Amino acid sequence: MPQSPPMDRRLREAILKGEVPAFLTLIQEDEHIIDQTIPGSSSNILHIVSRFGHVELAKEIVRLRPELMFEENEKMETPLHEACREGKMEMVRLLVETDPWLVYKVNQDNGSALTVACERGKLDVVDYLLSFPGLLMLELDGFTTSLHAAASGGHTDIVKEILKARPDFAWKNDLQGCSPLHLCCKKGHLEVTRELLRFDAELSSLQDNDGRTPLHWAAIKGRVNVIDEILSTSLESAEVITKHGETVLHLGVKNNQYEAVKYLTEMLNITKLVDKPDNDGNTALHLATAGKLSTMVIYLLKLGVDVNAINQRGQTALDVVESDVSNSGVLLILPALQDAGGKRSDQLPPSSIEIQQIQQEKSLLSSSTKRMTESTTKHHRRSQHRRREKQLELQTEGLRNARNTIIVVAVLIATVTFAAGINPPGGFRQDTGESTTGRHSSFKIFVVCNIVALFLSLGTVVFLVSIVPFQRKSMMILLTVTHKVMWLSISFMAAGYIAAMWTILPHGRGRGRQWVFVAIVAIGGGCTMAIFVGLGVLLAKHWLRKWEWRRSKEKRKNESPSSSVSRVEELGMMRKGSHDSSNSDVDSSDKGGYHLY
């Protein structure tokens, strides 16, 4: 078909306003002007007139060129599609009565004029088109029906009319396997959901191509009111699982629909659902931790879920969180899991089934069993090696953070002491610029302590910035030295502060000044002593763990290969991470989660 010329400006104004005389005048000037189309589109003038509902102008166009009724635009839609979409009832009657076969034309999406009217909720147009029984017959061989369009759009009255004409459409599925109930639940149309369930409650059990029911889709989209309507009709739909083994709780958690999950747990007996694994062995808690959904994790833990359930990859929820510590949500999830008793899979004791299997294997020990044991041991060693690499990575990251912290603290000390040095206690004399308290012994002590604190902190900053260690041991030595220097600098700064306070206290008679000084020393010294005592206790615990770790290591070295260690004990040792290592800081700190330097 040759391309039509672009539309004349005068013609465009005439058809937009529906001016019949102006249009007829243009036709008299040029009879081919009627073939023009809209720029950038293949819609003819009858498409536009039908869209705006200018019936009288449409009559003249149909009289002059009736074949324009069957011309299609770039969407393969006729003028009737335009009229039905906008609900222009008189225009629809004119076109259909001129040629009834026009109602059977479909667009590129296989949608008829009835379908587009259902999408827009044009009830009067739908009632008129339903008088053509063959129109619904066309949808029997297709997938998407007019009922799908009406349900997706939430048009309850149209849904009722189509169900009267074709009740079987309620069970038809589109290309994704979705029924009309699936679509309205997905969009959250409560009234349509209620109407379809009233029509047939069994519709709630339909599953799409992925095995998802309408309840599943309502949970995915967080439609709480729709969930309530479905559960009030059929509680059995809550027990249906998808092809991936997912329950309605899995889908709500995975899509972070907190309100929907909360409603489901309040309405249902969740003992069967909350710890139910999917095909990958993941419970709802696994999915929440994998998505770093801190609010969801905390809520599930309050429900009493199995915090140490293991998926098919051998991971607990704590393993899943620790596999990616870059997300800020981990800061909330990690302590919540630990407070609830969450552990890594390698920290869990062997189950009773495993113990029984080990006892049976012990009675039937043979050469083949030994080879299998060796293979299992290698596998556990590889697992422990990976876990150890992860521990080293976490420790190295902690050392880097400690290095940055020391730099920040040293800069703050240098700033404070520098400010105190140029603005000493007691101020200056205006005439000479000398300190008013420069002859006091306490002022001299302040100056010495302030200078030492300033340059120790500056030296710490220069030292840390100038040296970039590439090995963990080198970084430990560097931090140990700078840590002690930082404490020394803080001590001198505190001593300088006490000396400054003594300098500026009133020098009158009496013992008031001495008592104030004693109070300052007592408070400052007491706070400092409390900090040192606390750190001393932590350091003692750290040394005790290192001593126990070294003793157990030496004990394992001294044991002969033929030592009578049971398979249960051997498996327990492997699960606890018993392996040779020279890094006592990492291995001995596994229980405490920290080490001091």
Q: Can you spell out the DSSP letters for 193-250?
A: HHHHHHH-GGGGG---TTS--HHHHHHHHT-HHHHHHHHHH-GGGGG---TT---HHH
Does residue 289 lie within any of the structural domains? Answer: no
**Contacts from 560-565 at CB under 8 Å and sequence distance 24+?**
none
What is the per-residue DSSP string for 119-181?
Answer: HHT-HHHHHHHTT-HHHHHGGGSSSS-HHHHHHHHT-HHHHHHHHHH-GGGGG---TTS--HH
CA angle 117–122–125, rounded 5-degree value:
75
Q: How far, CA to CA in Å, does 270 sit from each of 53, 244, 254, 256, 266?
A: 56, 19, 17, 18, 8
- The reply to whether 491 and 415 lie within a common domain is yes
Count of domains in the chain?
3
Distance (Å, rounded) from C-alpha 299 to C-alpha 320?
18
Distance (Å, rounded) from C-alpha 159 to C-alpha 194?
11
Distance (Å, rounded) from C-alpha 575 to C-alpha 572?
5
- The reply to whether 91 and 4 lie within a common domain is yes
- In order along its 597 residues, the chain shows pLDDT tens digits of 445 556 778 888 888 899 999 999 988 988 888 888 887 788 899 999 999 999 999 999 999 999 999 999 999 999 999 999 999 999 999 999 999 999 999 999 889 999 999 999 999 999 999 998 788 888 887 788 999 999 999 999 999 999 999 999 999 999 999 999 999 999 999 999 999 999 999 999 999 999 999 999 999 999 999 999 999 988 888 889 999 999 999 999 999 999 999 999 888 876 778 889 999 999 999 999 998 898 999 999 998 889 999 998 889 998 888 877 666 667 788 888 888 888 888 887 765 445 444 554 555 455 555 555 555 566 556 666 666 666 667 667 777 777 788 888 888 888 888 888 878 777 776 666 677 776 777 788 888 888 998 898 888 888 777 776 666 677 778 888 888 888 888 888 888 888 787 777 765 555 555 565 566 666 766 776 776 677 677 667 767 777 776 777 677 666 544 444 444 444 444 444 444 444 555 555 555 554 555
Distance (Å, rounded) from C-alpha 14 to C-alpha 8?
10
Owning domain of residue 527: 514-553+563-597
- The reply to whether 125 and 28 lie within a common domain is yes
- The reply to whether 7 and 115 lie within a common domain is yes
Angle of helix 45-52 relative to helix 79-86, nearest 10 degrees?
A: 20
- The reply to whether 410 and 528 lie within a common domain is no
- The reply to whether 463 and 592 lie within a common domain is no
* 96 HSE (CA, 13 A, CB side): 21
- The reply to whether 532 and 496 lie within a common domain is no
Cα-Cα end-to-end distance for the chain: 85
- The reply to whether 472 and 521 lie within a common domain is no
- The reply to whether 5 and 138 lie within a common domain is yes
- Kindly give, in sequence order, each residue whose CB lies less than 8 Å from that of residue 403, ignoring residues fewer than 6 positions away: 464, 475, 478, 479
At 402, list the tokens: 């400690």
Does residue 203 lie within any of the structural domains? Answer: no
CATH number at residue 50: 1.25.40.20
- The reply to whether 524 and 463 lie within a common domain is no
Asked if residues 36 and 23 have their Cβ atoms less than 8 Å apart, the reply is no
Does residue 197 lie within any of the structural domains? Answer: no
Distance (Å, rounded) from C-alpha 376 to C-alpha 266?
44
Does residue 498 lie within any of the structural domains? Answer: yes
Q: Report helix, strand or coil for 352.
A: helix
Q: How far, CA to CA in Å, does 396 sit from each of 393, 399, 403?
A: 5, 5, 11
292 backbone φψ class: left, alpha, beta (φ>0; ψ -120 to 50): left
Closest CA to 77 of 107, 100, 48, 101: 107
The size of the chain, in residues, is 597
- The reply to whether 527 and 428 lie within a common domain is no
- Kindly give, in sequence order, each residue whose CB lies less than 8 Å from that of residue 118, ignoring residues fewer than 6 positions away: 126, 146, 147, 149, 150, 153, 155, 158, 162
Examine the fold and report which residue of 142, 164, 188 is the final residue of a domain before the chain moves on: 142
Distance (Å, rounded) from C-alpha 431 to C-alpha 433?
6
Radius of gyration in angstroms for the set of CA atoms belonging to the chain, rounded to a whole number? 41
Does residue 444 lie within any of the structural domains? Answer: yes
- The reply to whether 20 and 128 lie within a common domain is yes
- Tokens 């222009």 appear where? 88
Secondary structure, 3-state, 470-496:
CCHHHHHHHHHHHHHHHHHHHHHHHHH
